[in-house]
């Protein structure tokens, strides 16, 4: 007797006992096949659902960003009052898009800013591993020389400091400030984050991200955060300068209709930041992602020396964001963990890495010093947890903090910088408020105390 099933044919025995036995065997085999199919069918969707690339949160995240740029705001989940700026960041950074468009450094080797909202379509694992490729394996010592990675227990050693990317020099900052006052604007394009921001193209083709706001707080926050970065010796913030929108003025007369389309008000101060190309997403270091986040000497020991230039810049970033109470960077990731436990694995908001040099670029600091200070009661837990997690510092940054604490003149110095660098803007933008200076001095003392505490713990260990 022959039974055919699909492309298979099975010959069954003719005796009743043998037939019964064969039927039992067939039933068992069919049952096992069915159970295997069910297992595969259930496991595959679960794997796909938990994949970073198919995360529903990321879809909602991208929908919110896209809606924000068109003037609406998609809200798939209830958003706590007063934290809209935390839910939808201004920038995400995609090396995939950059490579497809051929974005890189210009002929001078100067990095320029590039934005993209397509990070959800990028292979996240590839992005996380990409930054580890810089610098090359031969750039750092090994063996006994590796001890020079840290000195006096809590400071990055010379072998790390020498490999840090130089960032934006004082001369570049001066040149940018002069440039923005001497060249006419010929075109405005949408981009650079929020809806009313514009990508400004000057007459020689140079680009700038121009920040426009209806209130002064965020313009003050952006420019005074930039000044503070220079006082601290941090060269990671792109060169920025103030300007005033005047449609009839020679600098803006070519784009009068575009100013009207952007709904920019006449004689409003704006911040012109140099456009940086060749940027890719920057990820939060593994040691700062966990619930018990720590960047202490014991966490640095044994790590790949190639990672040290990134970690050294992160130690500066944590201090800078704590001092300014920046809400729109790592605190944003921490806050959103209540909805997405894997948020710390996503790219850090408003932070990018220059692909060629390895420089971390601290972008969009408008929440610093004013807006962020008003929300300290709500978000100080996040700021403090990051500061307390760090016990390895750059000596130059620690020394700048010490000097500012001893002299208590950070307010005077910030205001002098404003008067010196922007003499024509004194009637358009108020100086940094006294209340902000008071809070900044308190936070400088907190950073100083954290450094002293770490020195006590680790200097003689």
Whether the per-residue pLDDT at 321 is higher than 70: the answer is yes
Q: Is residue 54 part of a domain?
A: no
Q: What is the pLDDT of residue 201?
A: 98
Q: Is residue 156 part of a domain?
A: yes
Q: What is the pLDDT of residue 84?
A: 32
Q: What is the pLDDT of residue 54?
A: 35
Name the percent of the chain lying above pLDDT 70. Answer: 67
Q: Is residue 176 part of a domain?
A: yes
Spatial separation of the C-alpha atoms in residues 186 and 203, rounded to whole Å: 6
Residue in the structure block whose two tokens are 């210009």 = 106
Q: Are 440 and 253 in contact (CB under 8 A)?
A: no
Per-residue pLDDT band at 291 (split at 50, 70, 90): confident
Per-residue pLDDT band at 436 (split at 50, 70, 90): very high
How far does CA 188 lie from the centroid of its chain? 25
Whether this model's pTM surpasses 0.85: no
Q: What is the pLDDT of residue 65?
A: 37
Q: What's the average model confidence in pLDDT over 319-326?
A: 98
Most confident segment among 24-28, 140-144, 150-154:
150-154
Q: What is the pLDDT of residue 310?
A: 94
Spatial separation of the C-alpha atoms in residues 25 and 12, rounded to whole Å: 11
Q: Are 243 and 178 in contact (CB under 8 A)?
A: no
Q: Is residue 18 part of a domain?
A: no
Domain region containing 144: 95-458
Q: Are 223 and 271 in contact (CB under 8 A)?
A: yes
Q: Is residue 56 part of a domain?
A: no
Q: What is the pLDDT of residue 442?
A: 98
Per-residue pLDDT band at 21 (split at 50, 70, 90): low
Strand partners, 178: none
Tens digits of per-residue pLDDT, 129-140?
443 333 343 444
Q: Is residue 186 part of a domain?
A: yes
Q: What's the average model confidence in pLDDT over 85-113?
A: 33
The b-or-e profile of 86-103 (16+ CB within 10 A means b, else e) is bbbbbbbbbbbbbeeeeb
Q: HSE on the CB side for 120, CA within 13 Å?
A: 14
Spatial separation of the C-alpha atoms in residues 54 and 198, rounded to whole Å: 31
Whether the per-residue pLDDT at 20 is higher than 90: the answer is no
Q: What's the average model confidence in pLDDT over 25-45?
A: 58
Q: Which of 198-212, 295-309, 311-325, 372-386 has the lowest mean pLDDT?
A: 295-309
Q: Is residue 120 part of a domain?
A: yes
Per-residue pLDDT band at 41 (split at 50, 70, 90): low
Contacts of 247 (CB under 8 A, 6+ apart): 253, 256, 259, 260, 266
Most confident segment among 57-71, 324-338, 389-403:
389-403
Q: Is residue 42 part of a domain?
A: no
Strands 207-211, 269-274: pairing kind: antiparallel
Whether the per-residue pLDDT at 221 is higher than 60: the answer is yes
DSSP string, 124-181: HHHHHHHGGG-S-GGGS--GGGGGGGEETTTEE-HHHHTTS---S-HHHHHHHHHHHH
Number of independent structural domains in the chain: 1
Q: What is the pLDDT of residue 169?
A: 97
Tens digits of per-residue pLDDT, 376-424?
999 999 999 999 999 999 999 999 999 999 999 999 999 999 999 999 9
The larger pLDDT score, comparing residue 334 to residue 459, is at: 334
């Amino acid at each position: 007797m022959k039974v055919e099933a699909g492309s298979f044919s099975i010959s069954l025995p003719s005796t009743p006992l043998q037939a019964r036995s064969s039927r039992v065997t067939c039933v068992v085999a069919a049952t096992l096949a069915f159970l295997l199919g069910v297992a595969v069918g259930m496991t595959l969707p679960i794997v796909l659902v938990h994949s970073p690339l198919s995360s529903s949160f990321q879809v909602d995240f991208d929908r919110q960003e896209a809606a924000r740029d068109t003037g609406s705001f998609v809200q798939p989940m209830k958003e706590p009052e007063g934290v809209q700026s935390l839910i939808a960041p201004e920038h995400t950074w995609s090396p995939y898009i950059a490579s497809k468009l051929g974005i890189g450094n210009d002929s001078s080797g100067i990095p320029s800013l590039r934005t993209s909202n397509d990070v959800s379509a990028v292979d996240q694992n590839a992005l996380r591993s990409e930054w580890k490729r810089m610098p090359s394996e031969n750039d750092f010592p090994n063996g006994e020389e590796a001890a020079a990675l840290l000195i006096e227990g809590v400071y990055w050693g010379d072998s790390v400091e020498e490999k840090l990317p130089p960032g934006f020099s004082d001369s570049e900052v001066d040149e940018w400030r002069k440039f923005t006052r001497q060249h006419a604007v010929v075109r405005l394009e949408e981009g650079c984050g929020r809806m009313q921001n514009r990508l400004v193209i000057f007459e020689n083709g140079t680009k700038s991200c121009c920040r426009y706001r209806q209130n002064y707080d965020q313009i003050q926050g952006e420019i005074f955060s930039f000044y503070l970065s220079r006082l601290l010796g941090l060269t990671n913030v792109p060169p920025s300068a103030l300007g005033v929108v005047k449609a009839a003025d020679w600098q803006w007369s070519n784009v009068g209709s575009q100013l009207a389309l952007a709904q920019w008000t006449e004689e409003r101060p704006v911040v012109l930041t140099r456009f940086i190309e060749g940027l890719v997403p920057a990820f939060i270091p593994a040691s700062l992602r966990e619930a018990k986040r720590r960047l202490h000497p014991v966490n640095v020991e044994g790590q790949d020396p190639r990672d040290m230039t990134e970690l050294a810049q992160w130690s500066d970033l944590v201090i800078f964001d704590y001092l300014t109470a920046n809400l729109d960077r790592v605190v944003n990731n921490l806050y959103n963990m209540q909805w997405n436990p894997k948020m710390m694995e996503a790219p850090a908001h408003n932070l990018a890495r220059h692909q060629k040099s390895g420089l971390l670029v601290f972008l969009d600091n408008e929440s610093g010093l004013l807006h962020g200070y008003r929300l300290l009661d709500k978000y100080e837990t996040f700021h403090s947890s990051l500061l307390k997690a760090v016990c390895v510092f750059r000596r130059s940054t620690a020394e700048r903090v010490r000097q500012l604490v001893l002299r208590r003149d950070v307010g005077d110095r910030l205001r002098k910088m404003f008067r010196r660098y922007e003499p024509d803007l004194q009637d358009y933008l108020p100086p940094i408020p006294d209340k902000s200076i008071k809070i900044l001095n308190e936070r400088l003392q907190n950073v100083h105390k954290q450094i002293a505490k770490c020195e006590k713990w680790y200097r003689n260990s």
